[in-house]
């Protein structure tokens, strides 16, 4: 007989049991469920809601059950529906009536809200550590490439010269924001819902603050309806994970492009590449492609959560059982992607000469030529027009701007002097942008120091 079966005169259909059961995916919450139950049992005994000897027996036996589960000695039952009722069933089998007292003053509604919060708060720390590993990797790579000049792009067209360090530090900023976003999420999610009951609390004199302290929460929820029906914390966590995947996917796209024969900026390490079953010459960036592909999967998990919750009335509805598989999938996906992506970029080989050659092509110093003329007194719009004509001339004569002879320069504007060649060299173009946020070596080194301090 089901633990809730007193009102029913007929057993549930086996197919209903299978359909209704969530143990196949919420079994991973076993440690949180037992930890929360131990704190609840301690409180029940402390408040004399149940006999202290029963409280102590429950706490001791739950600890034993936890060890047995970890040792693989426990098999969960589908017809016990979920992790909560499986644990309670095992407890009652072991200690009889004392185990039946555990559920006093609580509902599965506030129990699952507690378990899921605890689980995500624990996993948030793991994602945070993976992000810190990626940030450290980016910082180390940037320090190695402060002098590696490459083309910067807009519209995937060569725009201005930058350094690889500056490019890598752009991703550092993105992933650092992802880290702080997770930390902000933790502050909002660090509240304890147990005691909300099914929806309206309980008449028992629960000490919710005691349970919160036992479980390490900084506060308790302050509305019982919200306590059991809130899944904002799940959706927001999925959003945080989705943004991390966005940034991983953008980086993966660039890695894939850079690794192509047409770019040749990098070469992926053999350990993080794959081959073709038919074309023996192939070396494919499959890791980056899979990260890019799995991003859509995490977006789907976020969308699923939003759609599930969008029209549910207060308080708990069985629809909310559908919150776990998407968030578990999103979490599993990102925990798989972050470490392997970090290892992939740490081991990639950078072709500095090819990057410099790329920066010299495509007139990436055109803006610097215009700036040179402006500094000599020409209005910017006139300078812009002059350089535009120079680019057209260069295209017709298959040369770069720095390859113009002085006569060719004078034909474009008599303002040009011999110092223009130094002014529009790749090194000057990069290091002349010596403002906060710019790619100049001095600024880049300062940002690397700043990044290292952030990681610490």
pLDDT tens sequence across 299-357: 999 999 999 999 999 999 999 999 999 999 999 999 999 999 999 999 999 999 999 99
Both tokens of 123, joined, read: 């996993």
The structural domain count of the chain equals 3
Candidates 84, 252, 260, 276; catalytic one: 276
> Catalytic residue at 224?
no
CB contact at 8 A, 301 and 330:
yes
> Both 165 and 255 in a single domain?
yes
> Which ranges in 259-348 belong to alpha helices (H)?
286-309, 324-347
Q: What is the pLDDT of residues 424-456, one digit of tens each?
A: 999 999 999 999 999 999 999 999 999 999 988
Candidates 37, 40, 55, 155; catalytic one: 155
Contacts for 37 with CB less than 8 Å, ≥ 6 apart: 58, 62, 87, 102, 111
Helices 232-258, 286-309: inter-axial angle, 10-degree rounding: 160
CATH number at residue 438: 1.10.40.30
> Of 104, 126, 154, which residue is a domain's last?
104
Is 453 part of a structural domain of the chain? Answer: no
Both tokens of 214, joined, read: 């036992």
CATH number at residue 16: 1.10.275.10
Q: Report the alpha-carbon distance of residue 449 to residue 235 in Å, rounded.
A: 35
In a 3-state reduction of DSSP, which class is residue 243?
Answer: helix
Comparing C-alpha atoms, which of 444, 405, 387 is closest to residue 172? 444
Structure-token match 């017809």, residue found: 79
Q: What is the pLDDT of residues 317-330, one digit of tens each?
A: 999 999 999 999 99
> Catalytic residue at 276?
yes
> Of 104, 124, 156, which residue is a domain's last?
104
Provide, rounded to the nearest whole percent, the portion of the chain with pLDDT above 70: 96
- Residue 41 domain boundaries: 5-104
pLDDT band at 246 (very low <50, low <70, confident <90, very high): very high
CATH number at residue 258: 1.20.200.10
Bridge partner residues of 151 (DSSP): 161
pLDDT band at 3 (very low <50, low <70, confident <90, very high): low
Is 210 part of a structural domain of the chain? Answer: no
> Both 48 and 71 in a single domain?
yes
In a 3-state reduction of DSSP, which class is residue 102?
Answer: coil
């Amino acid at each position: 007989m089901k633990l809730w079966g007193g009102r029913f005169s007929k057993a549930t259909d086996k197919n209903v049991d299978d359909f209704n059961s969530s143990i196949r995916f919420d079994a991973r919450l076993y440690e949180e469920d037992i930890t929360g139950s131990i704190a609840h049992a301690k409180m029940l005994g402390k408040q004399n809601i149940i006999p202290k000897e029963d409280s102590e027996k429950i706490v001791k036996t739950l600890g034993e059950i936890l060890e047995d589960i970890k040792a693989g000695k426990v098999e969960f039952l589908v017809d016990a529906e979920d992790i909560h009722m499986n644990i309670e069933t095992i407890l009652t089998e072991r200690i009889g009536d004392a185990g039946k007292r555990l559920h006093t003053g609580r509902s599965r509604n506030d129990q699952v809200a507690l378990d899921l919060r605890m689980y995500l708060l624990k996993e948030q720390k793991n994602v945070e550590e993976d992000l810190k590993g990626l940030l450290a990797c980016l910082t180390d790579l940037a320090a190695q490439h402060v002098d590696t000049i490459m083309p910067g792009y807009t519209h995937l067209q060569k725009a201005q010269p930058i350094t690889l360090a500056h490019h890598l530090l752009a991703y550092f900023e993105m992933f650092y924001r992802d880290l702080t976003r997770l930390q902000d999420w933790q502050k909002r999610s660090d509240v304890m819902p147990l005691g909300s009951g099914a929806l309206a609390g309980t008449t028992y004199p629960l000490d919710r603050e005691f349970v919160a302290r036992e479980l390490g929460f900084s506060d308790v929820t302050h509305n019982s309806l919200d306590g059991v029906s809130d899944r904002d914390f799940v959706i927001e966590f999925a959003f945080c994970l989705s943004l991390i995947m966005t940034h991983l996917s953008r980086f993966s796209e660039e890695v894939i492009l850079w690794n192509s024969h047409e770019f040749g900026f990098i070469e992926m390490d053999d350990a993080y590449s794959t081959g073709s079953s038919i074309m023996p010459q192939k070396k494919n960036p499959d890791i980056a492609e899979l990260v890019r592909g799995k991003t859509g999967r995490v977006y789907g998990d976020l969308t699923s959560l939003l759609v599930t919750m969008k029209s549910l009335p207060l308080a708990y509805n069985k629809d909310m059982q559908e919150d776990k598989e998407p968030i578990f999938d999103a979490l599993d996906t990102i925990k798989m992607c972050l470490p392997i992506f970090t290892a992939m970029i740490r081991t990639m080989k950078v072709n500095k000469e090819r990057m410099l050659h790329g920066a010299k092509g495509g007139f990436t110093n055109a803006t610097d030529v215009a700036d040179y003329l402006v500094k000599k007194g020409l209005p910017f719009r006139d300078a812009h027009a002059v350089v535009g004509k120079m680019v057209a001339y260069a295209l017709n004569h298959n040369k770069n701007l720095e390859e113009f002879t002085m006569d060719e320069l004078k034909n474009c504007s008599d303002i040009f002097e011999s110092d223009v060649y130094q002014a529009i060299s790749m090194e000057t173009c990069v290091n002349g942008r010596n403002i906060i946020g710019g790619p100049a070596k001095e600024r880049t080194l300062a940002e690397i120091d700043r990044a290292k301090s952030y990681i610490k």
